[in-house]
Amino acid sequence: MGSKVLRAFITLAFVVMFNFFLFRMLPGDPIGLYARGRNQDPEQLVELRRALNKPLLEQFITYLRNPFDSTIDSTRFSRPVWEMIGERVWPTLLLLGTAILLASLIGIWIGIRAGWKPGGRFDRMSTGTTLILYSMPEFWLGMMLLIVFSVGAFGIPGMFPVGGISSPGVDTSGPMGWLNVLWHLVLPCTTLVLIYLADYALVMRASLIDERKQEYLTLARAKGLRDTMVRKRHAVPNALLPTVTLIFLSLGFVVTGAITVETVFSWPGLGLLTYEALRGPDIPLLQAIFLMFSIAVIVANLIAELLYVVFDPRVRS
């Protein structure tokens, strides 16, 4: 277990180094990057230039001392970068958490039904649908859902809000406010759930198909166990393991979906912040967000690896 944590740490170390050195390795004027298309106070520019003239290693050590330095300001919003990130974390967690939970439940259910009777009608229908969902750009699905269900098209009236996390003037701390947030949550969450469940369903199906070939299931049937019980008590719990691991490992993919979907629905989370940072480009903000996402994914991968050892005694050496 120690070696896994060590590897995660090394990966993180490389992320920090990459983050720092990439923007300084460029030819041309780094001040230009920072101040692109913006009127910068000339004194600030002189300060920045003096700081950047220090030897690279000294700058790196300063950075390392506190990568979460609260004095690093976003160049676009003139506020501390990590403060902005802190504000936007909860909406993203709400959106992604709900989406992953629903997508797991539905995806696994579909995968089980399809995988238990491969080649059957349900399998063919669901595999076709999931393949199509898998080929879809998630933001396009979001835009289409917006047009149909929010603006109203093809005869369907618009019933959902066009974006944001709550309607203006609504107090989100009370139960009525929560309902309002929930109403806003429906469309972006649906978009993400549809995209994520495709992946989970395909993996669960493949995993169950592999599991069905195992000999211990033949024994269970020979004992007289009903098909449903064979499935529920034996096959599924074992086939579930790779799927659950994959759900953790696919956090990278989840993050990608979050960025574009939050943009389409103006959901005020980290994804939308990334899009806004892109517009500048706001380099300090982008660096911080990259670091944030990488940490989240590295930690999730670590948890997946550790959980796998816990649940599958066969891999313990």
Residues that bind another protein (CB under 8 A): 7, 10-11, 14-15, 19, 22-23, 26, 131-132, 134-137, 139-141, 143-144, 146-148, 151-154, 162, 202, 206, 209, 251-253, 255-256, 259-260, 263-264, 274-275, 278-279, 281, 283, 286-287, 289-290, 293-294, 297-298, 301
CB of 130 to another protein, least distance (A): 11
DSSP 158: P
CA 178 to mean position of chain CA atoms: 23
Kindly give, in sequence order, each residue whose CB lies less than 8 Å from that of residue 24, ignoring residues fewer than 6 positions away: 30, 52, 56, 59
Residue closer to another protein, measured from CB, 46 or 153:
153
DSSP 203: H
Cα 145 from Cα 179, distance rounded (Å): 20
CB of 102 to another protein, least distance (A): 21
CB of 12 to another protein, least distance (A): 10
Residue closer to another protein, measured from CB, 161 or 220:
161
CB of 40 to another protein, least distance (A): 18
CB of 248 to another protein, least distance (A): 12
Residue closer to another protein, measured from CB, 160 or 220:
160
Element (H, E) at 69: none
Within 10 Å of residue 273's Cβ, how many Cβ atoms?
29
Residue closer to another protein, measured from CB, 132 or 310:
132
Radius of gyration of the chain from its Cα atoms, rounded to whole angstroms: 24
Tally the C-alpha atoms within 13 A of residue 110's C-alpha that lie toward its C-beta. 24
Task: Please say whether the beta carbons of 133 and 194 come within 8 A.
Answer: yes
Residue closer to another protein, measured from CB, 151 or 179:
151
